[in-house]
Structure 1
Amino acid sequence: MGQGGDTRRAQAYDGELGAAVARAQEGDEAAFAVAYRLVQPGLLGYLRGIVGDDAEDVAADAWLEIARDLGRFQGDGAGFRGWTATIARHRALDHLRRQRVRPRPSVPERDLLDLPSGHSTHEQALEALSTERALELVRSLPRDQAEAVLLRVVVGLDGPAAARVLGKRPGAVRTAAHRGLKALARRLGVTDGTRAEPN
């Protein structure tokens, strides 16, 4: 979960995503598949931070609702990412209410094996461990901070879009994300962009 990398990548895809959504609303199934491919990784990462092992099931429920209501969506690629995150969040909260449990801090082992190709096994193992550790650390934050960090960093939403998803003021979301990232930096021993050296 490269903090700035995922955000920049999501924003770079917004033009392509907006065009795909517009074509999908006209009935182009291939365009819907493009929209899914662009949105699903960030959405799944966000859901893992909320519901843990059940993220794929919750994402599937969210995509059923997204497909059903696609004709009602109005906006661009960035707006679509926010809209899908809102739907996913509602499905996640419904799931948690049904389960009557708090978000579980675990990443399924099968997800550790689902790595991008083009890397050595050693690099893949390190990437999987860093992703697992990152999600574990984010889930250890207070819920408002964890969701703000996940929406900003994993889904790639800007402050106002994340605020709409969470039903809060943009300033409150910026503050929660800032506090969450600051807490994560402290836990990792990072100060002013550098890792603290152990004594």
Structure 2
Amino acid sequence: MGDDAELTAAVLAAQNGDETAFRTVYRAVHPRLLGYVRTLVGDLDAEDVTSEAWLQVARDLERFSGDADRFRGWAARIARNRALDHVRMRGRRPATVADETELTGRAAASDTAGEAMEALATGHALGLIARLPQDQAEAVVLRVVMGLDAKTAAETLGKRPGAVRTAAHRGLRKLAELLGGDPESPGALDALPPQPGPCSRAVTSAGVTRVRARTQKDM
């Protein structure tokens, strides 16, 4: 089975009370979910907010229906609601603290978006994402880090798929600019590095994974 099929099966087993399956689901989804929450609440509170989201996921899991992609979207929607409640209580969206110096000079004019996507595998890149307008930051993380399709990402954000594609595209272009590349380079948004599947990928210490290939049309 592919990774999505394995995650779908694990979700179904977890709904039937299989604790081992729930741990499989958690390991597959948590790193990406944590990366998403970090763009909303910052580093200091991300773990706590994501833990609250998982408590709700566990509580409401029996009511969920759908495949792996829908589960990732459902979990992201729960995490987003918990994060926005947290931000409202605190009064503002915080900036993610990060040292951007290690990213200087990484991008090449021939593949700026590819380099930007590679940089998403580092905690430092979350600082750059946090500098994007919130709609762009969320679209980039949901589409690229969480791996959601445009329809599922749109359902998570309560927007139209076209609006999410546009926000993600603009966010990627801005990331390329922040990384020092030329966002107008031909094909810059077409060459993205491969993303391991949710059950077998390598996870960075920042909880953000390498991303799977998407073309400009897909975004």
Please give the range of the TM-score, normalised by the shorter of the 2 chains. Answer: 0.7 to 0.9
Question: 1:87 is paired with a residue of what secondary structure?
Answer: helix
Shift of 1:103: 2.7
Shift of 1:187: 2.1
Residue 165 in structure 1 maps to residue 159 in structure 2: no
Question: 1:16 is paired with a residue of what secondary structure?
Answer: helix
Match of 2:17 in 1: 27
Match of 1:90 in 2: 81
- Structure 1 stretch displaced more, 18-27 or 181-190: 181-190
- Does structure 2 conserve the Cα–Cα contact (< 8 Å) formed by 1:79 and 1:161? yes
Equivalent residue letter for 1:32:
F
Question: 2:42 is paired with a residue of what secondary structure?
Answer: helix
Shift of 1:137: 1.1
Change (3 A) 1:174 1:96: same
In the superposition, the TM-score normalised over structure 1's length comes to 0.78
Greater share of residues in helix = 1
CA RMSD of aligned residues (A): 2.0
- Does structure 2 conserve the Cα–Cα contact (< 8 Å) formed by 1:66 and 1:84? yes
Match of 1:192 in 2: 186
- Within a 5 Å distance, the mapping from 1:105-184 to structure 2 comes to 105-106=96-97, 131-184=122-175
Q: Distance in 2 between matches of 1:129 and 1:170?
A: 22
- Structure 2 unpaired stretches of 5+: 99-117, 189-219
Equivalent residue letter for 1:56:
E
Cα offsets for 1:55-97 (capped at 9, x unmatched):
1000100000000000000001111000000000000001111
- Within a 5 Å distance, the mapping from 1:98-109 to structure 2 comes to 98-106=89-97
- Structure 1 stretch displaced more, 143-152 or 178-187: 178-187
Percent identity of the aligned residues? 62
Question: 1:83 is paired with a residue of what secondary structure?
Answer: helix
Equivalent residue letter for 1:31:
A
- Does structure 1 conserve the Cα–Cα contact (< 8 Å) formed by 2:119 and 2:125? no
Change (3 A) 1:176 1:129: closer
Count of residue pairs brought into register by the alignment: 165
Match of 2:70 in 1: 79
Find runs of 4+ consecutive structure 1 residues off by over 4 angstroms: 127-130
Change (3 A) 1:128 1:137: closer
Equivalent residue letter for 1:21:
V
Match of 1:3 in 2: none
User: Could you tell me which of 5, 8, 31 is aligned with 1:18?
Assistant: 8
Change (3 A) 1:141 1:44: same
User: Could you tell me which of 39, 52, 55 is aligned with 2:29?
Assistant: 39
- Does structure 1 conserve the Cα–Cα contact (< 8 Å) formed by 2:137 and 2:171? yes
Cα offsets for 1:152-186 (capped at 9, x unmatched):
11111111111000000000000000011011112
In the superposition, the TM-score normalised over structure 2's length comes to 0.71
Equivalent residue letter for 1:48:
R
- Does structure 2 conserve the Cα–Cα contact (< 8 Å) formed by 1:149 and 1:177? yes
Shift of 1:193: 5.5
- Does structure 2 conserve the Cα–Cα contact (< 8 Å) formed by 1:43 and 1:85? yes
- Structure 1 unpaired stretches of 5+: 1-11, 108-126, 195-199
- Within a 5 Å distance, the mapping from 1:43-82 to structure 2 comes to 43-53=33-43, 54-82=45-73
